[in-house]
């Protein structure tokens, strides 16, 4: 927010209001999804005319109000009131939710472009806006979005959310305890106590067409590029040897190690933003990040269950405990997605930095067939670093780290960091260098102002030395 405000202040002088020509891909669930139905023709080679939305990306002129970027960053804009919300080609009205947010989180009162709009100035305001507008967390919106889909299919789907039409999940609700979301057309499964969540359930049982060229579950792709690559039907492609292990193999020398295919699936406990580094999850398992390897591979490298191991290649390195299991195939290493690495993470001897994550040893590999557009489900937009999150063709070297070689990176800070954390004008208690002293050392008394701020009862109390635990003021 501060960055946006500062940028806007500078933009008043240096940028002002400008217009941009923005290109967007031929996207799924838009009229352009059938822009190239039979073959891919290149206008640059004179094979066709350049037509936006067909042989060119969609082109649109967008006004950039740079001096108001900061204000717009903190407000929910008016397009939701005028155009409504949408997902997967389904549109619905959101004027009621827009007005409700004004009452719930308040409005921007600062005079200017965003005055009177719902506030996004605080993190809680943003959370409430998402929860209010999403069909998964607002029953009225869920029913409305299902009705919008019903207009396209000719069948009644609103009954899927009718039983929870009056449910509204707020930030306070999910802060108090987990809440089960509401069935929404955003997804193809049911949120039900009777039916386990299964993708494609509503397509089969509600007869909602699949979002494919044929409207059915489609296994054959007749796109020109897919056929050129020999991938009209599903085909197994072994991982490519990208040579990412060779630069680090020499560093290990004769030390026992394994070359394993690196796989990063979701855990059975959650996906993406579901935290694993909490007391319950850490208590259920090893208390920190883990890598699963097979029993036979582990025996060859002298790795036992719960040993510290390092996985590394030319992309990076990560440190975790080994889970040795007969359930893992030989030649494979598995590290679950979204391990936060904030608990029980030592340093890596390879990088000199703390730990690493599942993607420290991966990179995105872009493939031409990932960049097909204008052909129904074969369409793409950028997914973080590339077209899709397909960093699976990776190999790593895995080797054991002896307990004595584990470095927790708990050495003293640099003088510059010490000075920043402990300003010289504020008296500090000395830190013990080794074992806690038996007797409390003499300490510099806290200043009266600091005492009063901590405990008003000190205001008229006589000066006394602070109590000390482990050499630090309590």
* Distance of alpha carbon 324 from alpha carbon 297, whole angstroms: 9
Residues 178-188: tens digit of each pLDDT: 899 999 999 99
Q: How far does the chain reach from its first CA to its final CA, in angstroms?
A: 35
Residue 380 burial (10 A CB sphere; 0-12, 13-18, 19+) = middle
Residue 438, pLDDT above cutoff 60: no
The answer to whether residue 233 is domain-embedded is no
Structural tokens at position 288: 């920190």
Check the CA dihedral 145-83-73-102 and report its sign.
negative
| Residues 421 and 394 reside in one and the same domain | no
| Closest residue by Cα to residue 289 from 226, 354, 368, 245 | 354
**What is the DSSP secondary-structure string of 220-243?**
----HHHHHTT-SS----PPP---
Q: Are strands 308-313 and 290-294 parallel, antiparallel or unpaired?
A: unpaired
Does residue 25 sit in the same domain as residue 94? Answer: no
* 183, 192 Cβ separation under 8 angstroms: yes
Tens of pLDDT, residue by residue over 346-381, are 989 888 888 788 889 988 878 888 888 889 998 877
- Between 13-27, 82-96, 394-408, 450-464, the lowest mean confidence (pLDDT) is in 450-464
Q: Are residues 255 and 200 in the same domain?
A: no
Q: Is the dihedral of CA 83, 84, 89, 90 positive or negative?
A: negative
Q: Which are the contacts of 139, defined by CB distance < 8 A and separation ≥ 6?
A: 161, 164, 165, 166, 167, 168, 182
Same domain, 141 and 195: yes
Per-residue model confidence as pLDDT tens digits over 76-108: 999 999 999 999 999 999 999 999 999 999 999
Question: Looking at 111-115, 168-172, 358-362, 469-473, which range is the least confident one?
Answer: 469-473
- Confidence label for 385 from pLDDT (cuts 50, 70 and 90): low
190 within 8 A of 197, measured Cβ to Cβ: yes
Number of domain units in the chain: 4
* Tokens found for residue 189: 């499964």
Q: Are residue 333 and residue 274 in the same domain, yes or no?
A: yes
> Which residue, of 166, 197, 214, is where some domain finishes?
214
Q: According to the model, what pLDDT value does residue 291 have?
A: 95
- 386 φ/ψ angles, rounded to the nearest 5 degrees: -150, -160
How many helices and strands, by DSSP H and E, does the chain display? 15, 12
459 pLDDT band, cuts 50/70/90, is very low
Q: Report d(CA 217, CA 200) in Å as an integer.
A: 9
State whether 137 and 262 are in the same domain. Answer: no
Q: Which of these three, 163, 192, 214, is where a domain ends?
A: 214
Q: Counting beta carbons within 10 angstroms of the beta carbon of residue 61, is it exposed (0 to 12), middle (13 to 18) or buried (19 or more)?
A: exposed
pTM over 0.85: no
pLDDT at 5: 94
Kindly report, residue by residue over 55-69, the tens digit of the pLDDT.
999 999 999 999 999
Residues 119 and 157 occupy one common structural domain: yes
Judgement on whether residues 159 and 265 belong to the same structural domain of the protein: no
Q: State the residue range of the domain holding 204.
A: 74-214
Q: Are residues 42 and 112 in the same domain?
A: no
Question: Do 335 and 425 belong to one domain?
Answer: no
Alpha helices for 238-351 (secondary structure H): 246-252, 279-284, 295-300
Judge whether 386 and 359 are in contact, CB under 8 Å: no
Report which of 240, 253, 266 is spatially closest to residue 397, judged by C-alpha positions.
Answer: 253
- Region class of 89: left (phi > 0), else alpha (psi between -120 and 50), else beta: left
Reference 302, options 324, 318, 327; nearest CA is 324
- So what's the pLDDT on residue 18? 96
CA distance 332 to 328: 7
Lowest mean pLDDT among 48-62, 150-164, 263-277: 263-277
């Amino acid at each position: 927010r501060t960055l946006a405000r500062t940028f806007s202040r500078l933009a008043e002088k240096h940028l002002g209001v400008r217009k941009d020509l923005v290109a967007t891909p031929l996207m799924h669930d838009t009229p352009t999804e059938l822009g190239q139905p039979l073959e891919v023709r290149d206008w640059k080679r004179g094979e066709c005319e350049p037509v936006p939305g067909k042989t060119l990306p969609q082109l649109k002129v967008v006004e950039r109000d740079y001096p108001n970027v900061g204000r717009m960053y903190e407000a929910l804009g008016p397009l939701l009131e005028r155009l409504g919300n949408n997902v997967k080609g389904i549109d619905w009205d959101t004027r009621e939710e827009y007005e409700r947010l004004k009452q719930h989180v308040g409005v921007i009162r600062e005079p200017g472009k965003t005055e009177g709009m719902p506030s996004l100035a605080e993190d809680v305001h943003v959370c409430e806006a998402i929860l209010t507008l999403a069909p998964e967390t607002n029953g009225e919106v869920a029913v409305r979005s299902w009705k919008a889909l019903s207009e396209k299919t000719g069948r009644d789907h609103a009954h899927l959310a009718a039983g929870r039409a009056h449910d509204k999940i707020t930030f306070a609700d999910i802060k108090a305890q987990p809440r089960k979301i509401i069935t929404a057309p955003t997804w193809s499964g049911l949120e039900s106590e009777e039916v386990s969540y299964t993708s494609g359930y509503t397509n089969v049982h509600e007869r909602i067409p699949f979002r494919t060229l044929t409207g059915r579950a489609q296994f054959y792709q007749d796109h020109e590029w897919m056929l050129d690559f020999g991938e009209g039907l599903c085909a197994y492609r072994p991982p490519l040897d990208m040579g990412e292990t060779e630069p680090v193999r020499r560093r290990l020398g004769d030390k026992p190690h394994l070359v394993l295919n690196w796989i990063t699936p979701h855990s059975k406990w959650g996906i993406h933003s579901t935290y694993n580094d909490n007391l319950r999850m850490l208590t259920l398992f090893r208390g920190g990040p883990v890598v699963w390897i097979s029993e036979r591979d582990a025996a060859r490298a002298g790795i036992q269950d719960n040993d510290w191991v390092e996985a590394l290649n030319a992309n990076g390195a990560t440190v975790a405990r080994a889970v040795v299991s007969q359930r893992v195939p030989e030649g494979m290493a598995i590290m679950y997605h979204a391990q936060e690495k904030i608990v029980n993470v030592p340093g890596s001897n390879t990088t000199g930095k703390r730990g690493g994550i599942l993607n420290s040893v991966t990179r995105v590999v872009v493939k031409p067939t990932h960049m097909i557009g204008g052909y129904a489900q074969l369409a793409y937009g950028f997914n973080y670093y590339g077209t899709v999150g397909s960093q699976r063709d990776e190999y790593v070297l895995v080797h054991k780290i002896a307990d004595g070689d584990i470095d927790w990176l708990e050495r003293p800070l640099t003088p510059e960091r010490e000075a920043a954390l402990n300003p010289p004008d504020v008296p500090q208690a000395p830190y013990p260098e080794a074992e806690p002293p038996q007797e409390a050392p003499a300490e510099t008394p806290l200043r009266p102002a600091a005492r009063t701020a901590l405990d008003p009862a000190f205001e008229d109390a006589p000066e006394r030395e602070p109590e000390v635990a482990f050499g630090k003021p309590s």
